[in-house]
Amino acid sequence: MRRYWTFASAVLGMISVAFADPTPIEPSSFSTNAQFSVDSGAVSLASAAVATIEARNFAPGYSWLRIYFYSGPLSKEEIAGAMNGKVNSRWNAVIQLTVDKGLKVSQVDMSIPGHGCTIAPFEQEVRAFPQEYRFDGQNLRLKSKGSYVCDMKFMRIPNQKFEWNIDLTVPVFEKVRSGK
């Protein structure tokens, strides 16, 4: 009987640890160094980033891994929101990676306010995009520097040159869907 109570106490202890509040994340976990530009005019500098992952609607087996870049450090409220999959709208650039079940990248999109483009639409560009890419489902390491001329004929405007320089290691959080 004594063994039973010892075992039961150990199990209850493990359960309480599993359901305890998550370990707080330090603001430095979101620090990054990134630069973005379009036609050398619209420039965005980033010192913090939040990464989320979200299953793609109507594309079973694929997810969007989005990295939201901010020009300044994140507040405690923004960090708490990020940990719950909520992103503050004050971002100044977004890189969106489409990943498959194996977390392999199949497309890359870039947005800065007023501009957006698929900067790696084909396999050759996707392979060339990262100089370093590691994603285990919880943490992302991404280093990428490059440029891409986006064909804007369909919008009847001149082509735009998108440039980026990214170096980050950040935690990734499950994105909260609208209506949840």
Q: What is the pTM of this model?
A: 0.81
Three-state DSSP class for residue 77: helix
- What is the model's pLDDT at position 16? 39
Provide the pLDDT for residue 177. Answer: 65
Give me the sign of the Cα torsion angle 50, 28, 128, 117. positive
Rounded to an integer, what distance in angstroms lies between the CA atom of residue 66 and that of residue 172? 9
CA 116 to chain centre: 16
At residue 84, the 3 state secondary structure works out as: coil
Give the pLDDT of the chain (180 residues) as one tens digit per residue: 554 444 444 444 444 334 444 556 777 788 888 999 999 776 778 889 999 999 988 888 999 999 999 988 888 999 899 888 888 888 989 999 999 999 999 999 999 988 999 999 999 999 999 999 999 999 999 999 999 999 888 888 888 999 999 999 999 999 866 544
Q: How far is CA 38 from CA 20, 90, 163, in A?
A: 45, 19, 6
Q: How far, in Å, are 1, 11, 18 from residue 4 at the CA level?
A: 5, 11, 21
C-alpha closest to that of 112 among 32, 45, 31: 45
Structure tokens at 12: 């209850």
Sequence-distant (≥ 6) Cβ neighbours of residue 118 within 8 angstroms: 107, 108, 109, 150
pLDDT confidence of residue 20: 40
